[in-house]
A and B are shown apart, each in its own frame.
Chain A
Amino acid sequence: MKRLFVFATLLFAILFTAPAWAEEMPAAAAAVTAAADTATAAAPAAPVPNKGDTAWLITATLLVVMMAAPGLGLFYGGMVRSKNMLSVLMQTLVVFCLLGVLWATYGYSLTFTDGNAFIGGFDKLFMKGVTPETVVATFTKGVVLPEYIFAAFQLTFAAITPALIIGGFAERIKFSAVLIFTVLWFTFSYIPMAHMVWYWAGPDAFTSAEAAEKASEFAGFLFNKGALDFAGGTVVHINAGVAALVGALMIGPRIGYRRESMAPHSLTMTMVGASLLFVGWFGFNVGSAMEAGATAALAFFNTLVATCAATVAWTVIEAIFKGKPSMLGAVSGAIAGLVVITPACGLVGPMGAIVMGFLGGIACYWGVNGLKRMLGVDDSLDVFGVHGVGGILGALLTGVFASPELGGTGVWDYVANAPGVFDMGTQMIAQSWGVGTAVLWSGVVSYVAFKLIDVTIGLRVSPEDEREGLDITSHGESAYHA
């Protein structure tokens, strides 16, 4: 106690004698301080990234990397026949890494700089001008993140999205065709969609109505339409789902489709992969809050409960209609729930999330059964049935459950810096714009890209190679040795 008192006295003494020390400073140094003070007064101090936010975004980015390798690879790999296991693992890993390089060279610039409403510019080509000190806006005024971690987080989104498409044409595509398609599709579909949905000037630019109008000049087409997409329902899931469907349609079914058994070779691997996706998805959805704060907590809770609801829904509906609840069904339900809640996770309430999860589980169950039969396309790993259907449903339901009357957060008016007016009709129109644009844009780009590859190098491996399996014929190795 006595020691504490001495310490406090010392502290007190130091604090109050500090100005006295300052007075003893040489005149020149004082002049510098004065000049600096004037500068600070003229322009308010630039915001500094919060270490908590930064630490969370680093963690979230790592989680999304884990989704791609090994999560998605194992999830997809387990569902193919054992002779094609390595080809799927290889495609997911190399597509992710190739896209990482493209993102840094031109993807980041074309997505997140001023250009027009559909695509950005070349200001940050080769990461020009990005330094450890440059910062980007989040969703709160005066809160920023180091630009490098923002660019890395967005890299993982850009890189995992084309990897999702692989499931549509698995077990029969040429490896070179996968890579060329990926480059074309990323450049002409992913980048414009991401720019249209996510690019804006940041909350700090919205100081007055005029400033807001000026700030919106360069914002993305769908952002200005008011389409809500918290973590990438349109940009990632509808975009990838449609591309996979078009790919499966154009490349044609696998040899022996519907006549021979194409049963998954290891549902244990699929379960491990799906679990890694489940965990990694918290980086994806919660990281999209850009801050380690209240919205992140909401996104976390919603992602969790929606996934649980969808898993339960799929299990119950499968047990009713097919007689037995399957493990593959349950993990498909989990992925469906994650997809459905992605655009909504930071915008709806927990009961809205549960309803969305239930509906997502049921809709995607229909996507891989009824709809798949109707379309008659060999979308091998049901990318459209789960990501396409779940993405579309999620994007539309976001417009419903974001409503404050249904427990959602509504929309934020950045000019007033207060909750804005939410009108469900207007919001549904905005959401439909998002869905329609994603379906059309990705559909057209995918068609042209696949067509180009088909007439130049060809999309498919030879029938003999397909029979023997892509592991040996495309990669010269086999996954399992008996």
Chain B
Amino acid sequence: MKLISAIIKPFKLDEVRTALDVAGVQGVTVTDVKGFGRQKGHTELYRGAEYVVDFLPKVKIEAAVADELLDAAIAAIETAAATGKIGDGKIFVIDLEQAIRIRTGETGTEAL
């Protein structure tokens, strides 16, 4: 099992969700996050005051998938989240030791 953690542009969320659904991913967790990467921040101007906003708003999606579904899920996110411009985000993949469905007590890929 793998845990996919992807940082994407907020307005791409719906497209990514649909693509993951089509690829067969059963569920995702979505969080509003802020951060910086190569895109850096931007400057905001309020009357005479200038503020550099270092952290840009992004969305983080986390999905636990069975090993055989990993490539399809990654491809789905990569295609759906891409605009080709700087700041499209990143996908991280982490080994997942265990998963448990609380209601039934199922474990492993059964629980996904």
Contacts and interface: CB of A to CB of B under 8 A. Distances in A.
A482 to B, nearest CB: 12
A470 B49 CA distance: 22
B46 A263 contact: yes
Interface in B55-111: none
Bin chain A's interface residue count: 10 to 19
A389 B46 CA distance: 18
A373 B46 contact: no
B51 interface: yes
Contacts of A263: 44, 46, 49, 51
A372 B46 CA distance: 13
Interface stretch (A86-94, A119-127, A321-329, A441-449): A321-329
A368 interface: yes
Contacts of B45: 322, 324, 326
Contacts of A262: 49, 51
Contact of B48 (A261, A324, A368): A368
A261 B53 contact: yes
A264 B48 contact: no
A390 to B, nearest CB: 14
Nearest to A371: B48
B38 interface: no
Interface in B19-60: 44-49, 51, 53
A472 to B, nearest CB: 24
A322 to B, nearest CB: 6
A314 B107 CA distance: 64
Contacts of A324: 45
A382 B53 contact: no
Contacts of A382: 47-48
A148 B9 CA distance: 61
B43 to A, nearest CB: 10
B48 A369 contact: yes
A332 B44 CA distance: 17
Contacts of B51: 261-263
A138 B101 CA distance: 81
B42 to A, nearest CB: 11
B46 A328 contact: yes
9 contacts: A261-B51, A261-B53, A263-B51, A322-B45, A328-B47, A329-B47, A368-B47, A372-B48, A373-B48
Given A326-B45, A368-B48, A369-B47, 5 more contacts: A263-B46, A264-B46, A322-B45, A328-B46, A382-B48
